[in-house]
Structure 1
């Protein structure tokens, strides 16, 4: 593997004169040449100068966190380290799984902590249906099972999701693997505790965390620091120069990201697709596109807007920054208005064409490809509650003997003259619904009995779109003189239910 580092360094030293695809091809050859050394190390100290780490056992190319995935990684000939996740089961056993629940990767549901070891071994993994050939049915492993089967064949890095240091330490000591397994965490204090227990420490950091980190403070006790490959160049170089013995980069799924990481001094590549990143295949592994609504849209009035936050990622892989989120619904529309982080979209949703009630908002990412990545179509949906727009009704009945004429002024909650409780003015997003979709019903009541009914649609009779209108009902001649009640009701599909009453005397 040392020869491969020299080859890479030579390639990147002449980066200014070489084309990017030429440099990547050279790196492909270097990683492929390293296959003669890959997987030979049995301890952390025996790892080669340039390391390829199969994240979740290489979850884009094999079933993540599984025995078959580990077999696939080791059979690749390019993997030096296998990366796994560990969670505590209900009886204290250590199960290998990334998520806190089994829902995403098995045919069952529930928290990982709800299962005993015996129940765990009866589960069936169903993640990886896109793989060709599709893996055979298998149970999720325990950490003890993984170490019993593979502990003397490769180096592992195990991320402890819920503490678990004492349990992991006891298992590693019992199997005499304290120098063959890195214990991984995102918390510096936990990483230091790992070191103090006599284990090999591995700390990963996000791009945001790196901005305030001082990795030099960790150099005396940290074995591996694992940095975000998307971080700025200066940050990556600070970590490379920190004195920590090994600096790896995560999560690398393209050769362009691989080349950048190595060019800036990283000596390890953490990847979901080790065969592709190492140049053994030119086919990018396209797992299903996962569209996740991280923040659901709030209840919205007809004609108004709300927002949702949507994450686009690959199943068993990283986020997809290139995936464009669209709205695939008939009665609501939307568009992406911001991308606060790679793979995360803020989608603004308009209910201008909706009616009050509940509707489904479908978020769609159409199949596509970037410079290297390719992905299939992905979709998900959430329910959106659409409340009726507030409408103020101001009836103005006039009488002439027994003849009653009722005019009604309509004011949308965004109208200038609206004085009701739900005024939209000052919100910066005040919008007017369609007054023509207001359904008005006139009822004339005498002695508790409705003696006359009429219907009229609303109308925008002022400046178009100002939310103000007026409707006049056909005059009604009462059969009897005396007190009557004029009731006007709004029952249309876009405005909330409104009832106003006014007393008049006829005759």
Structure 2
């Protein structure tokens, strides 16, 4: 099973920052980040609609320029909210980048920014419309529940299904594999959850903590 560093191993690093991505890339098979559009039009890496939870700033991401976001401090680390381009630049060629689209209108920009990058890139979203924007890269449908998930992902032409821990049962994984889909389970935060996903037969584990990577247990 592959180890996918969720938000750059956000359990031990300031989430979705360049230092987090660099650290995670040295310890995992893949790094997952979240992509939004900021007020000045660039793609930036931030999970929430606002910067309130993770930074010393406040307000919507869409109300800040890229420069203003860069000047914030994520979780007191001194590292700012980066652009997606900055993240792409620090991903090694042998590490896969997982870009989760948090809003529509981001897919084309993600494809453009990873053109020429050496790393493999998988683009995911909970929003089928956002997934549909992606034309040239492998895609994944993210889901909370198993019901209808394989069918929806197949209809979208996805290569992967990103399923919540509780949805990652052996029957779901078997159906997904029969449909030609890889399955990555999220999000491992406790001991034993990696074993549950292994028993279910998933292909990858998304985790906040490096100690819960399949290779570390």
- Of 38, 42, 56, the residue aligned with 1:89 is 38
- Of 184, 188, 212, the residue aligned with 1:252 is 188
Going from structure 1 to structure 2, the CA distance change for 1:214 and 1:124 (only over 3 Å counts) comes to closer
Going from structure 1 to structure 2, the CA distance change for 1:243 and 1:95 (only over 3 Å counts) comes to same
Q: Displacement, 1:156? A: 0.6
1:181 paired to 2:121: yes
Q: Displacement, 1:266? A: 0.6
Give the unaligned 5+ runs of structure 1.
Answer: 1-49, 128-135, 282-507
Q: How does 1:135-284 map to 2 (within 5 A)?
A: 136-150=77-91, 152=93, 154-163=95-104, 164-173=106-115, 176-177=116-117, 180-194=120-134, 197-207=135-145, 210-215=146-151, 218=154, 221-231=157-167, 233=169, 235-278=171-214, 280=216
Q: Displacement, 1:159? A: 0.8
* Counterpart for residue 74 of structure 2: 125
Higher relative contact order (CA 8 A, sep 6+): 2
For residues 365-403 of structure 1, the C-alpha deviation after alignment (integer angstroms, 9 at most, x for no partner) is xxxxxxxxxxxxxxxxxxxxxxxxxxxxxxxxxxxxxxx
User: For the residues of structure 2 that align with 1:233 and 1:170, how far apart are their CA atoms?
Assistant: 36
CA contact under 8 A between 2:173 and 2:183: conserved in structure 1?
A: no
Q: How does 1:7-86 map to 2 (within 5 A)?
A: 50-76=1-27, 79-86=28-35
User: For the residues of structure 2 that align with 1:217 and 1:139, how far apart are their CA atoms?
Assistant: 34
Q: Displacement, 1:253? A: 2.1
Going from structure 1 to structure 2, the CA distance change for 1:219 and 1:111 (only over 3 Å counts) comes to closer
User: For the residues of structure 2 that align with 1:212 and 1:69, how far apart are their CA atoms?
Assistant: 34
Q: Displacement, 1:74? A: 2.4
CA contact under 8 A between 2:131 and 2:156: conserved in structure 1?
A: no
Instruction: Kindly indicate which of the two structures has a greater share of residues assigned to helix.
Output: 2
Structure whose CA Rg is larger = 1
For residues 204-253 of structure 1, the C-alpha deviation after alignment (integer angstroms, 9 at most, x for no partner) is 1102xx22334386178312111122127365344443423411111122
User: For the residues of structure 1 that align with 2:50 and 2:123, how far apart are their CA atoms?
Assistant: 22
- Of 87, 100, 110, the residue aligned with 2:59 is 110
User: For the residues of structure 2 that align with 1:118 and 1:216, how far apart are their CA atoms?
Assistant: 38
User: For the residues of structure 2 that align with 1:124 and 1:217, how far apart are their CA atoms?
Assistant: 37
Q: Displacement, 1:186? A: 1.0
CA contact under 8 A between 1:182 and 1:201: conserved in structure 2?
A: yes
Q: Displacement, 1:275? A: 2.1
Going from structure 1 to structure 2, the CA distance change for 1:65 and 1:87 (only over 3 Å counts) comes to same
Q: Displacement, 1:198? A: 1.0
CA contact under 8 A between 2:97 and 2:119: conserved in structure 1?
A: no
CA contact under 8 A between 1:227 and 1:236: conserved in structure 2?
A: no
Q: Secondary structure at the match of 1:57?
A: coil
User: For the residues of structure 1 that align with 2:207 and 2:195, how far apart are their CA atoms?
Assistant: 13
Going from structure 1 to structure 2, the CA distance change for 1:81 and 1:219 (only over 3 Å counts) comes to farther
Instruction: Kindly indicate which of the two structures has a greater share of residues assigned to strand.
Output: 1
| TM-score, length basis structure 2 | 0.88
Give the length in aligned residue pairs: 216
